Every structure is written in C-alpha cells, then in structure tokens.
Structure 1
Amino acid sequence: MQLVVGRIGRPHGVRGEVTVEVRTDEPALRFAPGNSLVTDPASRGPLTVEGVRWHKGVLLLRLAGVSGRDAAEELRGTMIVIDSSEVSPSDDPDEFHDHQLIGLSVVTVSGEAVGEVTDVLHHGQDLLVVRRAGQDDALIPFVKALVPEVDLDAGRLVVDPPEGLL
C-alpha cells in the first residue's frame, strides 16, 4: 500500500525550488539529499533530492532536473509516496498507523459483525470510519474504552460501543 509523505506545492523563487506540504513525522529521513522520491502520478518521477532547507516553517526542495520556475510549476500537486513496508512499527503496543487499521473487520465484544474499517479521520479525536453492509458508515472514536482490542494478526478490531453509537 502506498502512503503519502508529502505533496509538492507552489514553486519558490525562479531557480526551480518547490514547496512541500509535509505529511510525515520523519521529514529529515524522507527528504534527505540524494533520496529518490516515488511520485503519484508515477509519470512525474522518480525525483532525486539535491537540496533541502526550511524557510519560515515551509520545507523547500531542490530536485535534480528541475531548473526553473516553469519546471517546478509542472510538479505542483504531485504526491510523494512510500510503500507502507518502509514504515517501522511503533514500540507502543497501543499505537497504530492508519494503514494497519484500514481493512480490519470490526466485531462487538459479543462477537456481532459490525463491518470493516475504511478510513481513519484525525479531527482532534481519532475516528474510525466503519463501512456497514446496507447502512450508513459508522464513526467510532478510537479510544481504549470503545476499542478494547486490536488484533492485527487476526485482521480484526473489537469494539464495545455505548448504546446508540451503532
């Protein structure tokens, strides 16, 4: 599964630098000089990082072969992706990456099938989006009290919803 770690934004200056909307906790690792960046769409890459710097809180990249503002503008909106296998698992047993949760089947503590996790939303409170057959999607807060068990090996997640949540 591909994970987005950045999105190329507008050009910066006239020499071909691009701004990057960072979507990773490890920008120094992902955008280090010499790294080859896989892109979506694939036809725009791979891109090789020649230089990196921060300017007023914005990540700026200088990429091989991108030598002017017009070339940088052509890359606007390009997603920078990695394979999920490149992400190290967390040392915390109660911390999960979104890609680990998406696709898990969801059952209640009594064993009743609820559906499947299709997305994880981060709006102050992490919410699991659970697709239910023939019904609207359910939003389940991802907290230990409501999600007491996540079994990645079994491919399931157990929920203990209060009355009315589902």
Structure 2
Amino acid sequence: MTPIEVYQNLETTVNQYISSLDNYSDEQFLFKKDAETWSLGQMYEHLASSSSYFFLANCVRCLEKRKGQEGGDKNHFGQQQFKYGGFPPVKLKIPEAIRGPELVAKNKEEYRLLLAKVLTDSKNLIDAVSNNDGLYKALQPAMGWLNAQEWFFLQEMHYRHHLRQKAELETIASATK
C-alpha cells in the first residue's frame, strides 16, 4: 500500500472512533469491568497518545535521521505483521518492561480534537514518507527495525487492531445503561 492509501484507511478508521464518541454516556466511557480491563476512555487515551508519542514520533525520527540507525531488520513478529498487513486477531499485552502507569482518560470532547490532530499530523507526513528512501530506521521493541513508511503503516494497523477491543468494551459498557 502507498502512504496515501494507508492514510485513507487510517482516516476511515479514526473517523469511526470519532463518530462512536456520540454513542457513549460519560459513565460508559469511563466504566472499567475490572482492574485488568481498560475502559473505553483508556483505550482512546492509548490510541491518541501512542499515535503522537510513538508511531508518528518514530516516523518523524526516521525522516529526520535521528535516534535510530541506517539499516536493521524486522524480527519474526515484525515480518509476519507486515506480510499480513495487520496485527494477529488475538489480545496482546504491552510488555511489563515498557508499560507505563495506568492510563487516565480525558473527556470525550478532547478525543475528538486529539484524533482529528492525529489525522492532520498523519496527512502532513504523506509526501515525506512517500519520498523517503527507507534506509534509516528506528527500533520497535516488539518488531525490530522499522523505517518511516513502516512506522506510518503500523499506526494504521494499530487503529484497526483496536477495533476488536472497542467492540468488546462497548458491549461491556452497554451493560451499564
């Protein structure tokens, strides 16, 4: 897929997240079934913050040739992910070593703005990613070395991956009506 096609898919998916915000009461958005399960708000926080501070940040680092290296390979998981164009259809846990504090959700209106900014920031990178030679890479802890285009694509895969979790959390939250 080209960066333009990746962006178009990202835009469709992110707009699903944005429009879904209208369907949740504040109580549903913040409802946690148990200590191990995120609320919808925590999932939105994860998506918004990981785009800005992880996926897009590493994409830009590759474009600027900083905090990475020339060359490097994806590991087996990274190769599989890109071969199939998405995360496997299983629940994944962030490794303890890189997991931060528990996520705190903002209000729903803030996510409308944050997700719109993800789209704007992503759209602004299309030309640079399209014209990048792909030689400079940044390390993705679970997948190995990725270039700017791969980081760009990974963000889109990440949003699609969380659609399954979103559906599950919506079912859980709907029980609070």
Q: Same fold (TM over 0.5)?
A: no
Q: What TM bracket, shorter-length normalisation?
A: under 0.3
Which structure's relative contact order is higher, taking Cα pairs within 8 Å and 6+ residues apart? 2
